[in-house]
Amino acid sequence: MTRIGFIGMGNMAKAIVKGLILKEAVLPDDISAYAPSQNKLKSFAEETRIIPYQDVEKMIADADIIVAAVKPDLIEEVISPVKDLLKNKVLLSVAAGRDFDYYEKLLDSSTRHLYIMPNTPVQIGEGISIFEQNHSLTDDEFETVEKMFSAIGIVQILPADLMGIGGTIGGCTPAFFAMIIEAIADGGVLHGLPRDAALRLASQALAGTGKMQLETGQHPGEMKDAVCSPGGLTIQGVESLEKDGIRAALIRAVDASVKK
């Protein structure tokens, strides 16, 4: 069984761990972690039954695959002192912007590495994990990692120059969709729906629409047209959204995130 060790246990690392355990892609006993905040790590370990370490060097020695899950500006500070320990290991990085070329300069040549951009829905097995096309994993190692992350969502492989926009679509838009769910639920509450019912209906409508597009491959415009009867209530809502510029607003939001 492949043993996975996490350096850092922030929100993204926790989401990955929860998803892997939920989907039984990795057993809790085969997941270890080191984090500076030992109390928080211990609490999470008790919740998930993963193995907490007080010593990052020991954790790296005991793991087959290491996941660097610290903030991008801390990567060099965290990884440089353990560079020698990572020799002949696999390193997966989920730190935004730290790509193949970056690690080629930072790591020993024997360390195989891959840059991944997951999003938070991986914790329920409905996430997106974007893999950089450039990597140094062996075929067997890549197959193992791809299978692992496919268990917690979809895997999309992209070239280095598209990781930014791919990561924005995958990583930032859950916040946009959460705002859309909240706003639609507010509309339901405005007309008398209890808040919990409004949220449940809005969330399932969004989730179901997304899954239907993935499974059928239908163009979203075709899906929209199928709901819009001539002179019906849905086309009235669509006309209102178009008048308020929903498409332009969402395009600008993606563009703003990419530029940042």
pLDDT digits (tens, 9 = 90+) for 172-222: 999 999 999 999 999 999 999 999 999 999 999 999 999 999 999 999 999
Long-range interactions of 99-102: CB distance < 8 A, separation 24+: 99/132, 99/134, 99/160, 99/163, 100/132, 100/134, 100/135, 100/136, 100/160, 101/134, 101/160, 102/75
Q: Identify the DSSP state of 98.
A: -
**CA-closest candidate to residue 103, choices 133, 77, 143, 75:** 75
Binding residue per annotation — 148?
Answer: no
In the sheet that holds 31-34, the strands lie side by side as 51-53, 31-34, 4-7, 65-68, 90-93, 112-118, 127-132, 153-158
**Beta partners for residue 129, in sequence order:** 118, 155
124 and 77 part of one domain:
yes
**CA-closest candidate to residue 83, choices 99, 68, 101, 62:** 68
Binding residue per annotation — 60?
Answer: no
CATH of the domain at 153: 3.40.50.720
75 and 136 part of one domain:
yes
Last residue of a domain, one of 106, 128, 158: 158
Could you tell me if 26 and 151 are in contact, meaning their C-beta atoms sit under 8 angstroms apart?
Answer: no
140 and 223 part of one domain:
no
Residue 260: the pLDDT is 84
131 and 194 part of one domain:
no
214 and 144 part of one domain:
no
Element (H, E) at 31: strand 31-34
87 and 206 part of one domain:
no
Binding residue per annotation — 121?
Answer: no
Residue 2: the pLDDT is 87
Last residue of a domain, one of 103, 124, 158: 158
Residue 161: the pLDDT is 94
108 and 194 part of one domain:
no
Q: Identify the segments of the chain with pLDDT beneath 50.
A: none
Binding residue per annotation — 119?
Answer: no
Binding residue per annotation — 9?
Answer: yes
Last residue of a domain, one of 108, 134, 158: 158
Element (H, E) at 129: strand 127-132
CATH of the domain at 244: 1.10.3730.10
Q: Where are the alpha helices (DSSP H) in the chain?
A: 11-22, 38-48, 56-62, 75-79, 100-106, 139-150, 163-167, 173-190, 195-216, 220-227, 233-243, 246-259
220 and 237 part of one domain:
yes
Residue 1: the pLDDT is 66
Q: Identify the DSSP state of 127.
A: E
Helix (H, G, I), strand (E, B) or coil at 215: helix
Domain count of the chain?
A: 2
Give the angle subtended at the CA of 66 by the CAs of 65 and 72, to the nearest 5°.
Answer: 145
Domain that holds residue 108: 4-158
Binding residue per annotation — 7?
Answer: yes
22 and 135 part of one domain:
yes
134 and 189 part of one domain:
no
Binding residue per annotation — 12?
Answer: yes
Compute the distance between CA of residue 134 and CA of residue 69 in angstroms, rounded to an integer. Answer: 19
Binding residue per annotation — 71?
Answer: yes
